[in-house]
């Protein structure tokens, strides 16, 4: 069941590993496939080695509905995934990874709230830095809660990144956009500093989202720099 979606999860996991966004057993992916039904990657496996047989079915209470092997267990990080689904009915997929430049910002406690690149202004807006939460605990879903209603992309302090989307392709592309934004922002800082687009044009760009068919949430113009996490 859900073989096509499982194949897409496998493809995304392999891409994340190929791009260097995950190492060893890092990262996890979930997809909503029905009311209170979610496909999830298993714990303790490299995303380079993921196959259909490493993807199981859980519910929002973390019960295992279907497991491909007797020892299958979902990633312990599914708590933050389920938080996204519970708080955002529009979310159909969640991706968690450690893209190195984005995660560098998360480790430096620097939010990505630049409005300097046209495409990211339209697609994402500012990216907040959520408070620190110990992985695999409910601290992480609690940390992302204040940002979920306005943001589809978040940096997790000293941890990595989280993206959501109406479907898996959208959630994955948002992770790509985040890492490119982080790379460009870093280069701009090395060259003397980020220069934001003027506010009037930022608002115009955000207003063009429907024209480009961009779905999901957007924070508008919001700055997080200077906040201590």
What CATH number does residue 116 fall under?
3.40.225.10
Task: State the residue for tokens 């992302």.
Answer: 144
For residue 55, the enclosing domain spans 3-206
Tell me the C-alpha distance between 133 and 143, whole Å. Answer: 6
Of all residues in the chain, the percent with pLDDT exceeding 90 is: 97
* Number of structural domains the chain divides into: 1
Tell me, yes or no, whether 84 lies in a domain. Answer: yes
Residue indicated by tokens 């999830």: 40
CB count in 10 Å sphere of residue 108 = 11
Q: Which residues neighbour 53 within 8 Å (Cβ) at sequence distance 6 or greater? A: 68, 69
In the structure encoding, which two tokens stand for residue 82, read together?
Answer: 């389920």
pLDDT above 90 (res 225): no
In a domain? residue 39: yes
Across the range 145-172, mean pLDDT stands at: 98
Q: 126 near 113, Cβ under 8 Å? A: yes
| Structure tokens that stand for 171 in this block | 């959630």
Cα separation, 36 vs 58, in Å, equals 8
Provide Rg for the chain, Cα atoms.
Answer: 17
Q: pLDDT at position 227, please?
A: 54
Name residue, tokens 């044009």: 201
Which residue bears the tokens 């997080």?
A: 224
Residue 17 predicted with pLDDT over 90 = yes
CB 220 within 8 A of CB 140: no
The answer to whether residue 110 sits within a structural domain is yes
- Residue-wise pLDDT for 64-89, tens only, equals 999 999 999 999 999 999 999 999 99
90-131 residue pLDDT tens:
999 999 999 999 999 999 999 999 999 999 999 999 999 999
| Segment 144-172 mean pLDDT | 98
127, 181 contact by CB (below 8 A) = yes
Residue 222 lies in a domain: no
State yes or no: pLDDT of 195 exceeds 90. Answer: yes
Query: Within a domain: residue 214?
Result: no
* Section 28-37 average pLDDT: 97
Pairing of strands 160-165, 153-156: antiparallel
Residue with tokens 């989280």: 162
Residue 219, domain member (yes or no):
no
The model's confidence at residue 228, banded by pLDDT at 50, 70 and 90, is very low
Q: Is 99 a domain residue? A: yes
Q: Three-state DSSP class for 38? A: strand
Average pLDDT across the chain, whole number: 96
Q: Is residue 223 part of a domain?
A: no
Tokens (6 digits) for 50: 């993921």
- Write the pLDDT tens digit of every residue in 181-192: 999 999 999 999
């Amino acid at each position: 069941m859900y073989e096509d979606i499982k194949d897409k999860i496998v493809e995304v996991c392999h891409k994340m590993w190929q791009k260097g966004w995950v190492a060893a057993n890092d990262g996890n992916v979930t997809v909503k496939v029905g009311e209170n039904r979610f496909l999830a990657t298993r714990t303790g496996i490299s995303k380079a080695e993921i196959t259909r047989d490493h993807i199981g079915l859980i519910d929002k209470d973390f019960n295992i509905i279907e497991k491909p092997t007797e020892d299958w267990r979902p990633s312990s990080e599914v708590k933050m995934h389920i938080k996204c689904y519970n708080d955002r009915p529009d979310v159909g997929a969640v991706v968690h990874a450690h893209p190195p430049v984005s995660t560098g910002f998360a480790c430096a406690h620097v939010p990505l709230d630049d409005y300097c690149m046209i495409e990211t202004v339209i697609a994402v807006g500012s990216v907040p830095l959520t408070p620190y939460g110990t992985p695999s605990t409910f601290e992480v879903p609690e940390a992302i809660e204040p940002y979920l209603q306005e943001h589809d992309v978040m940096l997790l302090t000293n941890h990595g990144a989280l993206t959501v989307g109406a479907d898996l392709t959208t959630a994955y592309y948002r992770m790509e956009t985040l890492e490119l934004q982080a790379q460009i922002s870093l280069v701009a800082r090395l060259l003397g500093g980020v220069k934001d687009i003027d506010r009037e044009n930022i608002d115009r760009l955000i207003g063009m989202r429907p024209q480009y068919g961009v779905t999901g949430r957007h924070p508008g113009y919001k700055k997080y720099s200077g906040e201590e996490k």
